[in-house]
Amino acid sequence: DTGVSQDPRHKITKRGQNVTFRCDPISEHNRLYWYRQTLGQGPEFLTYFQNEAQLEKSRLLSDRFSAERPKGSFSTLEIQRTEQGDSAMYLCASSLRGQGTEAFFGQGTRLTVV
């Protein structure tokens, strides 16, 4: 296992289309996080899972956003009816234990909505 893997690395979509991103965490990690990062800013928390349970969601996660982790392994983040304001880097991270444990990030998926 070489780390957190995200697919695709880049996605260009037209406004109004739906997009889905995938994250494969480090295999033994039970916690998985999604963050969003816009240019010049730090990552902003979106949601996190412990195993298959989604335990926390940010107010940033509007109704158009949905995340799943059906088997407690990989996760998907779907954005419906994309808007130009959704253009950002979507980062996935995973960690092994709870608070106070380092989270390892993937390379991110760069979304551009045109």
Partner 1 sequence: GESVGLHLPTLSVQEGDNSIINCAYSNSASDYFIWYKQESGKGPQFIIDIRSNMDKRQGQRVTVLLNKTVKHLSLQIAATQPGDSAVYFCAENGDILQGGSEKLVFGKGTKLTVNP
Q: Which residues bind partner 1 (CB under 8 A)?
A: 4, 6, 31, 33, 40-45, 48, 50, 55-56, 58, 91, 93, 98-100, 102-108, 110
Count of CB atoms situated within 10 Å of the CB of 12: 12
Closest to partner 1 by CB, 14 or 28: 28
User: Whose structure tokens read 């509007």?
Assistant: 62
Backbone angles phi, psi at 85, to 5 degrees: -70, -10
Taking the least distance from each CB to partner 1, the nearer of 19 and 89 is: 89
Instruction: Closer to partner 1 by CB, 20 or 105: give it.
Output: 105
Closest contact distance (angstroms) between CB of 81 and partner 1 is: 26
Which DSSP helix (H) or strand (E) runs through 109?
A: strand 109-113
When the beta carbons of 9 and 80 are compared against partner 1, the nearer one is: 9
Question: Minimal distance in Å, beta carbon 2 to partner 1?
Answer: 13
Shortest reach from residue 21's CB to partner 1, in Å: 13
* Cα–Cα distance for residue pair 88/103, rounded to 1 Å: 20
What CA–CA distance (Å, rounded) separates 74 from 68? 9
The answer to whether 100 and 79 have CB atoms below 8 angstroms apart is no
Residue 16 C-beta: closest distance to partner 1, Å: 27
